[in-house]
Amino acid sequence: MLMPKRTKYRKAYRKNLVGECKGGDYVAFGEYGLQAEECAYITARQIEATRVAINRKLRKGGRLWIRIFPDVPFTKKPLETRMGKGKGAPEFWVSAVRRGRILFEVGGVPLDVAETAFRTASHKLPIRVRLVTRDTLDGE
């Protein structure tokens, strides 16, 4: 599963998840991209499940690029624990995704294959997404 090799700090602040993304909002590598329409934390497990679903639909035909990386540790306190006594231990890794961010890209396949691959991939993600192409201007 995806996670950083090392980090400067064990626990991180939660990023603010409102508004549009700052960068990564255009298709850079492939012909088709999967764009986020909502803000959310996407876990490494969700990224991996989406990657497997897309690769199964591509059937060795195209190439896949993952444009997000889970570099933020998500902490949780144990169940039935009283308040206080510090922040919880890191449980899993997440990627803070804002609206408009391109999550995955596909190249070397026709549009209908990309549509079916991204439709199955959308069921693995906790947010609404849409398919965008390289030639669409401003994601519309």
pLDDT tens, residue by residue, 65-102 = 999 999 999 999 999 999 999 999 999 999 999 999 99
Q: How far apart are CA 130 and CA 11, in angstroms?
A: 32
Total tally of structural domains belonging to the chain: 1
Residue 65 sits in a domain whose CATH number is 3.90.1170.10
Q: How far apart are CA 24 and CA 42, in angstroms?
A: 16
Q: How far apart are CA 61 and CA 69, in angstroms?
A: 24
Contact (Cβ atoms closer than 8 angstroms) between residue 105 and residue 42: no
Q: Give the structural domain span for 126.
A: 37-74+88-131
pLDDT tens, residue by residue, 19-70 = 999 999 999 999 999 999 999 999 999 999 999 999 999 988 899 999 999 9
In a domain, 9, yes or no: no
Assign 3-class secondary structure to 60-84. CCCEEEECCCCCEEEEECCCCCCCC
In a domain, 82, yes or no: no
In a domain, 11, yes or no: no
In a domain, 136, yes or no: no
Residue 138: pLDDT over 60: no
